[in-house]
Structure 1
Amino acid sequence: MTIEEEHRALRGRGEERARLDALLARAASGSSATLVLRGEAGAGKSALLDDAVHRADGFTIARVNGVESEVELAYAVLQQLCAPFVERVDSLPEPQRQALGTAFGFRSGAPPDRFLVGLAVLGLLADAAEAAPLLCVVDDAQWVDTASAQTLAFVARRIAAERIGMLFAVRQGDAGDTESDLFDDLPGLRVPGLADADAEALLEEATVGPLDDRVRSRIVAEARGNPLALLELARDPGAAELSFGSSPGDGRLAARIERGYAQRLERLPADTRRLLLIAAADPSGDVALLWRAAQRIGVPAAAVAPAQEAGLLELGAQVRFRHPLLRSAVVRAATDGERRAAHSALAEAVVGEGEADYRAWHRAQAALGVDGEIAAELEAAADRARARGGWAAAASFLTRSTELTPDPAARAGRALDAADAWMQAGGLERARSLFALAKAGPLRDVDAARAQLIAARLAFASTRGREAPALLLEAASRFETLDPATARDTYLDAFTAALFAGRLADGGGALREVATAIAQRSRPAVPSSACALLLDGFAQLVTSGYAAGVPLLRRALDALRADPLGDDDALRWLWPASRAARAVGDDRSWLELTARSVELARRTGTLTMLPIALTERFTVDLFVGDLPAALAVAAEADAVTEATGRGLSPHIAFLRAAWGGDESRARSLLDANRAEVSARGEGLWLAGTELTSSVFLNAFGRYDEALAVAERAATHPFELGLSTWVYPELIEAASRGEHPETGADALERLTEIARASETEWALGVLARCRALLSEGDDQEVLYRESLERLARTRIRVASARTQLVYGEWLRRQGRRVDAREQLRAALAFFQEVDMAGFAERARRELAATGETARARTVDTTNDLTEQEALIARLAAEGRSNPEIGAQLFISPRTVEWHLGKVFTKLGVTTRRELRSGAATSLQRGLAGV
């Protein structure tokens, strides 16, 4: 039987075939599906894939195999999978077209974001599936290169309403074999060994001639139901020894099978073994390359016949081994010299400039000892890999380049580059190992500074706080004389790391320490840019107070609005600038800069920044009182985090729960995340939850609890964007209890901030807080001032909070009619934005005036899900299906599918009707979200 025929002769796989049939049926009907087959080597995963392909009538098939030696080459497997569809690339939106072209080496450009590449592949496959259902099959997925695996896992998570089936096979089970965690969260099916009866039947079919009963029983027992083991043991001329109780001596089944293959290889002619070695050493499976390399070392074409006759190798469109373990056995059976000769022949046989990475890799494998020329080629290959976004490939190239570099200083520098690349690829342990190698070598001044920076970033990547601020600060100081621009950016990184760490940083005073160093560094007498102004403003705010820092921050914010930064600088500086705008109460800058930050992250596909930008924008929309916009941002953040395989931002989830008055959910989120956040050293998250908790407790009139939480947050006054706004919560809570001194101290600090800021938002909130702690006629004057100032801002939440406390004060003065006017307005707003606690408080106060306010009731029979509501909102704004899909990391066909459900729920039939009735329909649809 041929390899394919053997794979189709399936026994005992009824359950597995039923699951595969279900996947094919779903894909054919337009409901995409994914399945990962997991099992030990030889369990029959490949046979099941073959069977699925054979029975996928009417499907377009795209099939690839992971190869162990190919894991170093970025996007190698993905490019093979997409090769039949490359003519469809021009149909993709330009950012996706650029990203995919750069990843595959068709275009030059900046390294593409891997999720933008994933979206491009999703669009490409969805487009291909329009003509006929598509089945994507990836065998030996544990050997798929990292960039390809990340992209395929992304696509598998995002397919929904396309006619696409995705099948993966991953080896696991033997000692030392580990499954790629990139596929862990995908639907899986364990492929077990065969039952004894099925194993005996398969063995009978595979055996030529009679087989002794004792041998048969021992083979079945030895194979433990593994189909490949059964087939290989049946072919093993030494299998008869099993009847006398001989043991293979190694419990690993894969090792036993490999040894069986090795014994079969020994019986082949020398030229055939050399040809097999060349085929095993080449990850591309290119038949033409195999023959060119074979010709260079004098292997005749006739050498392939014995391998084909033994069923070990097939040459079709690509070179195909009987099993990956055979490929491994071929490589292990060869001597070092034979392996180097094979790689050398392949390097000489590679043609075309586009194959330079393959040539460099083969030359590196053929090298004996150090070789500066090959090391330089590998460094160039790493640069090309980085340009395609293949950080894991770049790291591997640089690691081998380091090993081949003869000069100690150059070797240390390349080890540093390799450590940086491994860090970018997420391989922190490999990064630490290469970093240690770099530190042991002689480093030039600039490399020593880079080493300090990489050490700091490794610490930040590992813990998100604690050690990172001090390490980044030291790196920034070393760069001052070497590269002032890098020094400035690193000082910002240090400040940001200290802000993240907050109270949990090592020593507890990281923010002040970093700010002091920034204030004392060498710099021009007059800051030359908005970024320099912002950095100096941060430093002065922390070291000298709001009166010194706020004017600089205000100038920086004005400059950033008037003269926007380029994309690279904006990606680094917009988030801290947005935090500064919130801290000083500059609502105009806060709204504008957060909108710019989200737009930039979307446009550039920078998904490391997008969740952070969306989180800040979510807070903006809540403060503005635009609940549909806030929920749309939350749904987008959910789409991003789902697409990247991570959970929803705990800040957004917690803020939503507290905002809506869901104490049980809020406490659950706190409990679930506090230990992990504390372990990572993210004090900023703790400060945020304290502020949000104090708002929640004030909303429900639990003032003593609110005061305790707010006081705890206020002891860390420079956790930017939070300290400004925790004082009003502290003052309100203190004014309702017997804590006038506590309220007065907080008012003094808020007064300093507001008068330094001189914004209507800050001064309006200050007037409300002064009213809460005043007596007599001054109170009404201050409440009126607060309303007037806040009316000139877009921070509607602050205005409604003033209306509520003003209405409460009026009622207590016996002015019921005047109180109702304020309380009605406050209640209407709180109901509009679903602030349940404050709405209930306003309703109680209205009832105390003699007016009954009914709780809002909404017909929720047509409720939309969050994703449906966001898609409806974007469609109502005039976005096309491809544009919506690009923003939410889904295909245009899935967008169309969701819109069909939206139309049904909202009772509309066209986008025109959706646009004309968007305000009413979407608000109704969002009611139950």
Structure 2
Amino acid sequence: MLTGRRVERDVLERLIEAVRGGQGRALVVRGDAGVGKTALLDYLADQTSRAECRLVRVAGVQSEMELAFAGLYQLCAPLLDRAEQLPVPQRDALRTAFGLVEGPPPDRFHIGLAVLSLLSAAGGDRPVVCLVDDEQWLDEGSAQVLGFIARRLLADPVGLVFGAREPGAELAGLPELQIDGLADDEARALLDSALTGPLDGRVRDLLVAEARGNPLALLELPRGMSPDELAGGFGLPGAMPLAGRIEDSFLRQLAVMPIATRQLMLLAAADPSGDPSLVWRAADLLDLPKDAGEPAVEAGLAEFGTHVRFRHPLLRSAIYRSAAQTEQRAVHAVLAEATDVVVDPDRRAWHRAQAAVGLDERIAVELEASAGRAQARGGLAAAAAFRERAALLTPDPGRRASRLLTAARAKRDAEAFAAAAQLLDAARAGPLTPLETAGAERLRGQIAGSLGQNRNAGQLLLGAARLFEPLSADLARETHLEALWEIAMWTGDREGLRRDAALAARAAPSAPEPSRAVDDLLDALALRFTEGFTAAVPAMSRALDSLLAMDIGSEAARHLLWSGARPAGCLLTMELSDMHAWQVLTARNVQLARDVGALVPLELGLHHRALFHIHQGELDTAARLLAENDLIRMMTGRLMGAVTGMLLAAWRGDETRAGELIQALTHEVSTRDTEVLVAYAMLAGAVLNNGLGRYELARDCARQAFELDVFGSEPLVVPELLEAASRTGDLGLAGVAVEWLSERASSAPTDWAVGMAARGRALLSEGDAAEAGYRESIECLVRAGFGAQVARAHLLYGEWLRRQNRRSDARVQLRTAYEKLTAMGAEGFAERARQELSAAGETARKRSVGTVTTLTAQEALIAQLARDGHTNLEIAGRLFLSARTVQYHLRKVFTKLGINSRRELRAALPPAVG
């Protein structure tokens, strides 16, 4: 029985009841070492069995933190008989991760979806409760996957409970149960229950005070005390931390054991896999007697059954840390010899590395092989750890530096950027070959970009590109493009850096014939940032044609997916005001990212695709894409989906939501070296305030966005600037905007560009010229498919007609604008149209945009996918949910729409949009 802990037990009991009721639950039980986390997990395990739920238990092991998916395998091993029921991509990802089959390295999020599906399927027979003790010692891959799963337990009868001292970032935001020490009366009761003889009152009070309610300390400290000390006159050393005192108590108990027992315990502590056969094979190599473990078992310090278990993880760490380094290396050498090189080569290599005295090339080669196997299974963190250890054991200086560079790349791929930077600094100490030196500088720039240091990243990449120039034209040009991407796309033209980077790119080696899409794009951007828009239009058009002509399934297309070329290509369509190319390229980028399972490119692709649909006037479609984007953004932590969500809220006239997102993004920008996010935040402010008729605020926001000069954003910013400036009488600023639009329309006369320029001239004209401009604008924008701006052109035309006292003509335009804007869900602009229509003599009641808007964005997305014929399993795979959660959302959709089956979705939902 637990002493006290009534509140904690209630929390755990409610969790079991929720899981039995078909609801998913996640909980982090956190507290200091020895405070009782494991005891509470034991209590939960007992209650799980009483409730006839299935129990799966996992423990993180410190020495296994470098073994890919070691913790996850513990969790899944009892459930792998169900793997055949998984969709083939998920099954293959899981088996590859566990090294059961060979295949391309699986993405960790696809592994997570496979485990989620496995747990959901198991829960269908009997509710499942998974306990993960010592989460802080899980390998990184397992921790990431379990954190992924914990955030997606909704309608699955699965409970996932973690015990951790300090939970990792993977568990941030999950519900927590903080475990503190026992109250003094409970502490005395627990201490008395553990005593087998009399205890001096002063010693009792001292133990209770020193233990500070820590149950493990209360139970273990007396065990390390002599009878004389228990009888009185004993004082605990105040300087030693509590965990150290507990470890010291464990060691005092171990000290009275036979030498053979202590050696066996050290063997077990050095290999925490819990495999008794391995421990006993190593024991045989040391000629330890078969009964060497009996004293430890009788004292309750360890178990040697189907698994080797210590009474507490602190006992394991105490045994291992108390051994001299020579003893530690000796036991690792024996364990390596006892490990089957065929069955478990990675564990053998790791033990050999721990046993190494000095540098050893043979072990380094073994570790590199282990790294390759880990990477093939998707274990990026494990691969990085093996590569780092291999580098540190390498005797040859040049090869050592090369391996350090490879290890740094592996750490970067595992998103351990600080560790990657440290290894990179060591690698740069050399000696490196010239090509490796350039690669190291490129990696420095890439790491800086990943950390949001975009200005510094651009400069570092520019330096790397120059180093590549005499060595590899292809690598030089690719790196120049990366530099331009970081500088031009993220930080604008601060201090002339963009022009300097573009000039350097133009001086780079020429592209070979035939040129690649990346070469055409680099040439186009370099010309754009040195000679201006008009001079660069032919080159930008060629680059866009190259991107559109690429085979989506080619290796070149997949390579570009991960580079700056794909998002830069989307911005190029906006720069050229080419609505058709914008549509095609965004659709291809999303499809390619889906096909290869690349989440970061998919997140960016969904951002651009949603942005396209916003300006096409399909706000609900954009919201559905952003709902999918949000699921991914929870995993990647990137910001572009939040940017599009902010613009969507602005177009909808949702002042509260848009304001919250603008404020949050502005705060985020303060921690990053980027201006593109500021530009989009100001664009959102301009759209919002133009819709609400607050033109001075809209003008100020648009002017700030315009002055930042962020590539690709200006065709969206300038129309907002012009409208707001014309409404506030700022004719000088409005004239600048009209001149800008006219240049674009003259140099790249797409329907989008010509239509916006015509509307701009109309805003500053009178009489027949104004009317002709409005009519031309509407005709061009309709041909372009620019639905959102078509509606606003009707609104502006109607407002102008009303001011000319042509009330009948005004009502026609304003009624069209009101209907289009209402159907879009652009409530701010629709209300502006309604008020103008009322002023023109026609009453228009406020209208709802329809029943579908009662659905959340995620429900609408799931409903659309179901309407289009996708099964629950297919929807779950696309949205990284379980099939059971998809069904849960569909039941809510049916209730809200008043329907009973998937067949009725086609009539209840609007037509599908690409």
Matches within 5 A, 1:503-582: 503=492, 508-524=495-511, 528-565=515-552, 566-572=557-563, 573-582=565-574
Quick check: 1:50 aligned with 2:42?
yes
Change (3 A) 1:918 1:664: closer
State the secondary structure of the residue aligned to 1:787.
Answer: helix
The answer (yes or no) to whether the contact 1:469–1:495 under 8 Å persists in 2 is yes
The answer (yes or no) to whether the contact 1:862–1:906 under 8 Å persists in 2 is no
Q: Deviations over 1:540-573 (max 9, x none)?
A: 1121122222222222223322333432323323
The one-letter code of the counterpart of 1:89 is A
State the secondary structure of the residue aligned to 2:825.
Answer: coil
- Per-residue deviation, 1:685: 0.7
The equivalent residue for 2:218 is 230
The equivalent residue for 1:212 is 200
The equivalent residue for 1:198 is 186
CA distance in 1 between partners of 2:861 and 2:86 (Å): 22
The one-letter code of the counterpart of 1:56 is T
- Per-residue deviation, 1:444: 1.3
The equivalent residue for 2:89 is 95
Q: Deviations over 1:460-508 (max 9, x none)?
A: 22234121111111112222333333333322221221134324x7x53
Matches within 5 A, 1:845-856: 845-856=836-847
Please, which of 869, 875, 889 is the counterpart of residue 860 of structure 2? 869
CA distance in 2 between partners of 1:822 and 1:240 (Å): 99
Q: Deviations over 1:237-268 (max 9, x none)?
A: 33743631422243411100101111122211
- Per-residue deviation, 1:81: 0.9
Deviates more, 1:485-494 or 1:123-132: 485-494
CA distance in 2 between partners of 1:774 and 1:497 (Å): 40
Quick check: 1:468 aligned with 2:457?
yes
The equivalent residue for 1:430 is 419
CA distance in 1 between partners of 2:109 and 2:748 (Å): 40
Structure 2: gaps (5+ residues): none
CA distance in 2 between partners of 1:198 and 1:743 (Å): 76
State the secondary structure of the residue aligned to 1:56.
Answer: helix
The equivalent residue for 2:822 is 831
The answer (yes or no) to whether the contact 2:221–2:245 under 8 Å persists in 1 is no
Quick check: 1:585 aligned with 2:586?
no
CA distance in 2 between partners of 1:569 and 1:94 (Å): 27
The equivalent residue for 1:926 is none
CA distance in 1 between partners of 2:106 and 2:36 (Å): 37
State the secondary structure of the residue aligned to 1:138.
Answer: strand
The equivalent residue for 2:906 is 915
CA distance in 2 between partners of 1:708 and 1:550 (Å): 30
The equivalent residue for 1:927 is none
RMSD (Å), alpha carbons: 2.3
The equivalent residue for 2:478 is 489
Please, which of 857, 873, 883 is the counterpart of residue 882 of structure 1? 873
State the secondary structure of the residue aligned to 2:600.
Answer: coil
The one-letter code of the counterpart of 1:602 is R
Deviates more, 1:699-708 or 1:62-71: 699-708
Quick check: 1:267 aligned with 2:261?
no
- Per-residue deviation, 1:152: 0.6
The one-letter code of the counterpart of 1:85 is L
The one-letter code of the counterpart of 1:631 is A
- Per-residue deviation, 1:615: 1.6
The equivalent residue for 1:729 is 720
The equivalent residue for 1:397 is 386
Q: Deviations over 1:724-783 (max 9, x none)?
A: 232222222333343334333322222222222221111121221122223332333332
Deviates more, 1:320-329 or 1:508-517: 508-517
CA distance in 2 between partners of 1:215 and 1:520 (Å): 81
Could you tell me the TM-score, scaled by structure 2's length? 0.95
Change (3 A) 1:610 1:734: same
Matches within 5 A, 1:479-878: 479-503=468-492, 508-524=495-511, 528-565=515-552, 566-572=557-563, 573-644=565-636, 649-717=641-709, 719-857=710-848, 863-878=854-869
Change (3 A) 1:509 1:94: farther
- Per-residue deviation, 1:114: 1.6
State the secondary structure of the residue aligned to 2:612.
Answer: helix
- Per-residue deviation, 1:164: 0.5
Deviates more, 1:68-77 or 1:568-577: 568-577
Please, which of 882, 889, 894 is the counterpart of residue 898 of structure 1? 889
The answer (yes or no) to whether the contact 2:477–2:509 under 8 Å persists in 1 is no
Change (3 A) 1:575 1:220: same
CA distance in 1 between partners of 2:511 and 2:411 (Å): 37
The one-letter code of the counterpart of 1:760 is D
Q: Deviations over 1:117-167 (max 9, x none)?
A: 111111111111111111111111110111101111110111111111111
Deviates more, 1:856-865 or 1:471-480: 856-865
Change (3 A) 1:375 1:80: same
CA distance in 1 between partners of 2:682 and 2:385 (Å): 44
Change (3 A) 1:359 1:133: same
Matches within 5 A, 1:274-293: 274-293=263-282
State the secondary structure of the residue aligned to 1:314.
Answer: strand
Change (3 A) 1:192 1:261: same
State the secondary structure of the residue aligned to 2:491.
Answer: helix
The one-letter code of the counterpart of 1:383 is G
CA distance in 1 between partners of 2:854 and 2:733 (Å): 46
CA distance in 2 between partners of 1:773 and 1:646 (Å): 41
CA distance in 2 between partners of 1:741 and 1:44 (Å): 71
CA distance in 1 between partners of 2:906 and 2:387 (Å): 54
The answer (yes or no) to whether the contact 1:823–1:846 under 8 Å persists in 2 is yes
- Per-residue deviation, 1:603: 3.2
Deviates more, 1:847-856 or 1:209-218: 209-218
- Per-residue deviation, 1:645: 6.5
State the secondary structure of the residue aligned to 1:919.
Answer: coil
CA distance in 2 between partners of 1:454 and 1:163 (Å): 44
Quick check: 1:67 aligned with 2:61?
yes
CA distance in 2 between partners of 1:845 and 1:239 (Å): 93
CA distance in 1 between partners of 2:891 and 2:361 (Å): 61
Query: Number of residues paired by the alignment?
Result: 905
Change (3 A) 1:826 1:158: same
The answer (yes or no) to whether the contact 2:477–2:508 under 8 Å persists in 1 is no
Deviates more, 1:575-584 or 1:384-393: 384-393
The answer (yes or no) to whether the contact 1:479–1:486 under 8 Å persists in 2 is yes
- Per-residue deviation, 1:235: 1.6
The equivalent residue for 2:160 is 166
Change (3 A) 1:766 1:531: same
The equivalent residue for 2:175 is 187
Matches within 5 A, 1:323-334: 323-334=312-323
Please, which of 296, 307, 310 is the counterpart of residue 321 of structure 1? 310
Change (3 A) 1:646 1:720: closer
The answer (yes or no) to whether the contact 1:710–1:727 under 8 Å persists in 2 is yes
Q: Deviations over 1:794-853 (max 9, x none)?
A: 211121122122222223333332222221111111111222232122222222321111
CA distance in 1 between partners of 2:739 and 2:544 (Å): 25
State the secondary structure of the residue aligned to 1:369.
Answer: coil
CA distance in 2 between partners of 1:479 and 1:782 (Å): 52
Change (3 A) 1:725 1:56: closer
The one-letter code of the counterpart of 2:479 is T
Please, which of 424, 428, 444 is the counterpart of residue 455 of structure 1? 444
State the secondary structure of the residue aligned to 1:129.
Answer: helix
Deviates more, 1:263-272 or 1:350-359: 350-359
The share of aligned pairs that are identical, in percent, is 47
Q: Deviations over 1:503-533 (max 9, x none)?
A: 4x7x532222222222221113766122221
The one-letter code of the counterpart of 1:334 is A
CA distance in 1 between partners of 2:343 and 2:802 (Å): 79
Deviates more, 1:36-45 or 1:230-239: 230-239
- Per-residue deviation, 1:667: 3.3
Structure 1: gaps (5+ residues): 1-8, 172-177, 924-929
